[in-house]
Structure 1
Amino acid sequence: MKSFSIQNFFILHIFLLFLLPLAKCNPNALTGELRLRLDKFSEFVKQPVGTERKGDEVKVRGLSWHLKASINELITAKYIKIWLICTNDCKIDPNWNCYASSVIKIIVGQKEVMTKRMGGNFNERDFSFYSQRIQIENLLKECQSANEDSVEFVAKVVPDAPCGNSLPRTDILTVKSSGDENASVLINKNYLAAHSNFFNDLFNENGHADRGMSEGWNENVENVLRLANQFLVKEVEGKCKRFLTSEQCKIRTMKKLLIADKYGLDALGEYILYTTKYKNPILMEMSRLIKGLYCAIVTCLRQLSLTMKAQKRGKEFEMKEVWHNVRLLGTGISQICHLPSIPFKLLNFFPHY
């Protein structure tokens, strides 16, 4: 029993040693401790201006924080500048910002000889760092009195929750701006996948995409196409096309043609018509007849518009009635045979209506 207890003690000890580095590396920690040790300090301060030493990075609130010491010069006197730096290697939003405060303790040997406070609003464009000046002579005196030639900077950083997304900057996409059709905004695939099961299946390359094809796509393929068009995701558009032409798709042929026309998928519409003629030749013949009727109506109205220019204003009311009926007819034809609506085609003939 005694040996068993000793064995359990060693297992628990090893387990705690394993958990300790995990706790230190927690990227979502609310606070963090930063360290920078300058050994052989007397030799370091003799280095030329611009010499730097950097501490290890620590993840806090999903951001990377570290300390840096550099040798600077003001007029003829050298001094050390200690930097608190926040980097955005895990950010995707160029407008991120994070307010943080810190207390930096300067330790010589085992003695805390100085304390510096710094902090502010960290962001990418203006301030990704804050710094403090420290006189070299004061630190050298402390080292001599303590008979120590090393100085350690220990900072406790307490940041607020950052504004912006903390997902990896990978697989950048663009989305159409609502204000300007030519403008685009950067987004992230992982961000979409984290908030949508559809995008999670579409972007995942481990086989989930095939499973998603047969689950709910008949009801949602048009919505997915709309999002793919808005977010300019060609690979999603391609998967929607493959589904619409697959045997798994249970959407009616007319509905497929309307979807193809709505999102400008001309090749898809032609493919559907080509494959449909073998399955339903009557439908293809009706499409040809209605298309011929459409062309005949356009020709007649073109001639009619030329003759109506010389008519009196009383006749123009009758023309408006004719135009209203043609508009209704054109809408019906468009829905039946996959043609542009007649009102759009005839605006050039009747600009004053």
Structure 2
Amino acid sequence: MHKRSDQILFRVDKFKAFVKNRDLSPVGGIVPGATESHSVNINGLPWQMEIYACDCVKEPPATATNPDCFHIDVGLHCLGDETDMAWSCRAAAQFSVVNKSGDSLMKEGNLDNFELYTAHCATNGPDCAFKIEELMNPKNGFYNEKDDSMTFKVEIIAEELIRNGVRYDKALLINGKLVNVNKYLLAAHSKFFQTFFFGENAKETSEIHIDEVPDAVATFKKLISAMYPHNEELDDECVENVLLLANRFLLDCVVNRCVEFLLKKSKKSAICKFRLAHQCGIVGVEDKILMNMTRQDFSGKAYFNNLSETIKLGVKEMEELRERHKDLYESR
């Protein structure tokens, strides 16, 4: 089991020289005034902190009369999966500077704000995070003059690595929790998501509330994984809730997979399948299940299971079941 969060403490030695080297030209691929920490493994991926001595963006560039007018730039870098150029992962980071007492101060970033990391965009972080003038001020207690060092810290929360050739480019807020999706893939398979992501009223923050099924977030993830190219197998434990969501979000490709599973592999009762087909408005399948019912489906052994299903049916569907029961038992 991979850990979901960790932190990196990174001490930059010879800090004054590190800062002054920012104006030198790169040599052999090494950028002066830039350094990387050790890596930590979080949720199956290695992460490291990057630190740069950058010319000031927030204020005028450094001058001879004011050499401290620039900042330290920090970033979180995901080393990724070199064998899969389509991996993606979301992570939140909070950067800080550690004083001589061990306190983390001057915090930058929010652990509730998850950024997307991919093979083509593997680094995120606040620009010009810490002003050198504040870092070097003896009153703040950050710079260790004896060791000529400065210690930085980043706290990291990382979600699971996404593989299988699908790059997730959108985070949906499902009942208050983030779920990674590929909006183009969803829109290609569903008119609901086509309008949701690209319609006139599409919002930058995409939020969906689901109350049709228990454990909505897990079921929505299962819905996504049942699509191409994942095509994960369905089972009797999940098929009902996945079908209900697929029907709501007009994902016909998943509806068809659920129907195929119910007809060919599921051990659910015929009346349960009949009820699901009716609930989702799949008339042809509903009629087929009804006509294929046998006496065994109405037997005493199935009574209690059938009772829990029939109470969920409407008057019309109950009448159809009675007619089928009558046909079966009067034909003896």
| TM superposition score normalised by structure 1 | 0.41
- Per residue, is there more helix in 1 or in 2? 1
Greater gyration radius? 1
Q: Highest relative contact order (Cα 8 Å, sep 6+), 1 or 2?
A: 2
| TM superposition score normalised by structure 2 | 0.43
